[in-house]
Amino acid sequence: MASETEVTPTETESSTDLISLSTPSTTPSFAPPATARNTGVALQGSGISGSGKGGGGSGGSRKKARAGGSLFGFNETQEDDLIGTMYDLKLDSSGKKSTGVGTTDTDFYGAVRGLLAGNRVNEGSLRKYFCVPKKLGATQIFIPTRDAAEAPKVFDVVDKVKPNYWIIRYTGRFSAPVSGQYRFVGKADDLLWVAVEGRTVLEAHWDVDNFLTGWRPKEHVKEHPLYDFGEANTDEDKKKAFLTYGDWMSLEAGKPKDIEILLGEYGGGRFFAVLMIQQKGQEDKKGKSKDRPLIPLFVTAEPNGQQRQLMRSGKLEFPREIPVFAGSQPTRGSESSGESTPASQTSPTATETKTDGRIDTTALPTYELGWKEGTGASDAWDGWILRANGMPDKKSYAGFYLAKQEEKSGSDPVAVEGRSFAVYADGDGFQEAAAFRGLAKPLELNQTFAVDLVTPIPRSNAGATGSIGLTLRHGKKSDEPKDYNAGARFELTTLEGKPNYQIFDGSPSSDSGLAVTPGGLRIEFTLRTQDTYDLRLSPLTGGIPVELKERKLGGEKGAVIDGLAIFNRDSEQNAFFNRLRLSP
């Protein structure tokens, strides 16, 4: 891609039932239409027609183009996009110092392997490396063979990031248009890793002897060559240029799944990547090439003319009908009206909290003399354990208090009878405070834990990443504030540098999709199995709740949830919360 020039292609009629894909000659960027929810597109002729369930636009309808398109994604992200973030493994988080990674080609896979915690990317490990500020929204993973320097170019860091030892992490959601068994198929030079719901389902790297996890291909190993698409001309290349087939997955129509994808390059020369998806029962469809079957490109939104031209212009053939795996099927509540009742209007009253031991608020008699160690004990809750590392004599402050509504306006959304719990961490150095709470009995299946929480955007002054949030934990380790995530199975965090609430669990996608708001939110966590849960996040001042279903818990498999922690880590802000509840 020599430039980022927008192109409005002239579409031509075609009578063939096949399309093909390879390196574009003079059209390095494109502007596809806004995302739609059709379940299939016919990549033939000048129209886009729906297929399968859901129907939708047909007969060549066009939508407003998105600007700033490239093969790596679009500058303005939209619903159903796979959000791409680039990292340079050669540079530390500041982008100024070398990490020592990248001195030889042999340590690339080892470095990326170190980013994984089991079968998902570890956010903490990623923070060691330089994160490119610009994000791109991709609707497909198709990057024909080109110079690896194109990646830094489209992410606007060509002067900072050299074209080797980089990775791009794409995260998002997808759902099948038709229920059935599916598997991903693909290849990249150098790295392609795909995980669904926290489980590795495909590793299709150029180096066929290197893997990031214990995953291995089971079918069609080195069976279907990809020499032409990968421009593999040497004998050594031809030993590697084969499609890799992933594990079969059961997908239910319209039921979104989290997906996480890593692309990467270590040598700095040639780069390509393609990701397709195959439905069981369609394995034997053949095109003009007898060397490999026809497999649809994996797309999360309808391609437009420029994308279709790319697919027609080369050597890798695709079926005429390309199903769309949009993740925007119903996952949010109250969408029909566009608004919801403010969560604060559906809160239990102070009288109710004083008569129901499963509800804990600042209105209870136990807090009449303040919020102290051991307060709050009941049949449902253990008493609070409060840990902080503040050192006032060194102008380092961290701790706990009951905030008065008239004095702390930020506590308004969660105040009960004029008060709320408050956790602070500010001043010189890196301060931490964590309020630990045990459950009298572990959380039961289909039982819900809820809390109202105000978490301003952190702004650490210690050169670190500030955070405010909640963890639900196995075990009750609480010796010091940094134990807040000991045994954690779930964490919801307002993280410095992130505009949305972040979720850390056993699922790959950490972005909740809900923007952090000073109005606060209600967290409702429902345990479904010992290792899965449902989550509802409701803005306290009104708006559309976000509902996330059947996410996987992190931590030790099968471990019970019998405690929680609410923490403030050098945010330079006050966190406020109230109305802890267990139901039924």
Q: DSSP characters for 154-205?
A: HTT-TTTS-SSSEEEEEEEEE-BSS-EEEEEEEEEESEEEEEETTEEEEE--
Measured distance CA(532)–CA(526) in Å, rounded: 9
| CB < 8 Å & 24+ apart, contacts of 112-118 | 112/167, 112/191, 112/193, 112/212, 112/262, 112/264, 113/212, 115/167, 116/212, 116/213, 118/198, 118/213, 118/506
Token code pair at residue 87? 């990292």
Residue 238 has a pLDDT of: 67
Mean pLDDT of 508-527: 91
Could you tell me the pLDDT band of residue 197, with boundaries at 50, 70 and 90?
confident
Residue 18 has a pLDDT of: 40
Measured distance CA(98)–CA(93) in Å, rounded: 10
Q: Which residue has the higher pLDDT, 151 or 318?
A: 151
19-323 and 343-583 in the same fold = yes
Closest CA to 126 of 102, 93, 151, 94: 93
The 3-state DSSP class for residue 84 equals: strand
Could you tell me the pLDDT band of residue 268, with boundaries at 50, 70 and 90?
confident
Q: Which residues lie closer than 8 Å to 308 by C-beta, 6 or more apart?
A: 11, 19, 43
Chain-centroid distance, C-alpha 454: 22
The torsion angles phi and psi of 195, rounded to 5 degrees, stand at -130, 140
Residue 209 has a pLDDT of: 82
Residues pairing with 390 in the sheet: none
Q: Is the pLDDT of residue 50 over 70?
A: no
Mean pLDDT of 87-115: 86
Buried b (16+ CB within 10 A) or exposed e, 471-491: bbbbbbebeebebbbbbbbbb
Whole-Å CA distances, 319 to 15, 123, 142, 153, 296 = 13, 37, 15, 32, 6
Measured distance CA(361)–CA(371) in Å, rounded: 11
Quick count: other Cβ atoms within 10 Å of Cβ 19?
25
Buried b (16+ CB within 10 A) or exposed e, 447-461: bbbbbbbbbbbbebe
Q: Which residues lie closer than 8 Å to 349 by C-beta, 6 or more apart?
A: none
Instruction: Say which range, 141-150, 371-380, 505-514, 536-545, has the weakest mean pLDDT.
Output: 536-545
What is the architecture, at CATH level 2, of domain 343-583? Sandwich (2.60)
Mean pLDDT of 82-102: 91
Q: Select 19-323's CATH number: 1.10.1280.10, 3.40.30.10, 2.60.120.380, 1.10.10.10.
A: 2.60.120.380
Cβ 306 vs Cβ 28: under 8 Å: no
Q: Is the pLDDT of residue 6 over 80?
A: no
Residue 347 has a pLDDT of: 55
Q: Which residues lie closer than 8 Å to 369 by C-beta, 6 or more apart?
A: none
3-state secondary structure 112-163: HHCCEECCEECHHHHCCEEEEEEEEEECECEEEEEECCHHHHHCCCCCCCCC
Tens of pLDDT, residues 337-358: 344 556 655 555 555 455 466 8
Q: Return the domain boundaries, the chain.
A: 19-323, 343-583
pTM of the model: 0.53
Share of the chain above pLDDT 70, in %: 80
Could you tell me the pLDDT band of residue 51, with boundaries at 50, 70 and 90?
very low
Write the DSSP string, 204-249: --SSTT--SSS----SSTTTSB-TTTTT--SHHHHTT-B-EE---E
Q: Which amino acid is at 332?
A: R
Residue 505 has a pLDDT of: 97
Tens of pLDDT, residues 442-500: 999 999 999 999 998 898 988 889 999 999 999 989 999 999 999 999 999 999 999 99
The overall average pLDDT reported for the chain is 81
Cβ 62 vs Cβ 50: under 8 Å: no
Share of the chain above pLDDT 90, in %: 51
